Structure 1
Amino acid sequence: MAGAVDGDHVTVIVTGEVDMATADVLFSTATPPDAAAATVDLRGVSFFDSAAIHALTRLAEHYPSGRLTVFPSSRVLRVLEISGLAGQPWLKPDSAGAAE
């Protein structure tokens, strides 16, 4: 998991698994001090569980009003569809699977 800050915008690129062991790292990496907006690239994620879903919903609360953008992998998108979150405005599925 890598995060880069540019001004008040943080970009986080995640690969592999996001689960109970790594979901808090995702959240903390995506919420550095002074960040007002975030992009979370999950296109390289192969496993995504309920702890990861919770981290995303926390990020959506942390970055309201269109200040969060999430690019899901096809696997992440499927989990979010099942959980009823596929229609969230922060989710940009047009790029799903681009890094798979």
Structure 2
Amino acid sequence: MDQEGADPGFSAVGEVTGDRVTVRVTGEVDMATAGALHQAATPARVTAATLDLRGVTFFDSAAIHTLVRLVEHYGGAIEVLPSDRVRRVLEISGLGGQPWLEDCG
């Protein structure tokens, strides 16, 4: 994947416990980094995911697309912990009321 122009502060680190992956994401999630987020969130043999996006500073349409793909992949077995910025973007996009979106405030 081409990471040219990607936020040097971006990271998406997944930790698997049992059948759940918890992915802690920091920095900007955009076209250059969304693929890395998806890859970190879909390791083999997991059936549930927690996306900790509280460290995310930018979240664009590519990030929304990746998030929707992950929701479709995990169904009801996903939870998203958003930063204020991510929550605002999801609200603007019409996804603010989704059951997988946790209240971190």
Computed over aligned residues only, the root mean square deviation of the Cα atoms, in angstroms, reads 0.8
Q: Choose between structure 1 and 2 for higher RCO, CA contacts under 8 A separated by at least 6 residues.
A: 1
Q: Distance in 2 between matches of 1:17 and 1:53?
A: 12
Which residue of structure 2 aligns with residue 90 of structure 1?
A: 100
Instruction: List gaps (5 residues or longer) in structure 1.
Output: none
**Aligned to 1:54, what secondary structure does the other structure show?**
helix
Counterpart residue type for residue 60 of structure 2: D
Match of 2:83 among 73, 90, 94: 73
**Aligned to 2:54, what secondary structure does the other structure show?**
strand
TM superposition shift of 1:43 = 0.3
Identical positions, percent? 67
Larger Rg: 2
Q: Distance in 2 between matches of 1:91 and 1:56?
A: 11
Which residue of structure 2 aligns with residue 12 of structure 1?
A: 23
Count of residue pairs brought into register by the alignment:
94
Q: Distance in 2 between matches of 1:56 and 1:90?
A: 11
Please, what TM-score do these two structures have when normalized by structure 2?
0.87
The answer to whether 1:33 aligns with 2:44 is yes
Please, what TM-score do these two structures have when normalized by structure 1?
0.91
Q: Distance in 1 between matches of 2:49 and 2:15?
A: 10
Match of 1:62 among 54, 73, 95: 73
TM superposition shift of 1:28 = 1.1
Counterpart residue type for residue 22 of structure 1: T
Instruction: List gaps (5 residues or longer) in structure 2.
Output: 1-11
TM superposition shift of 1:80 = 0.3
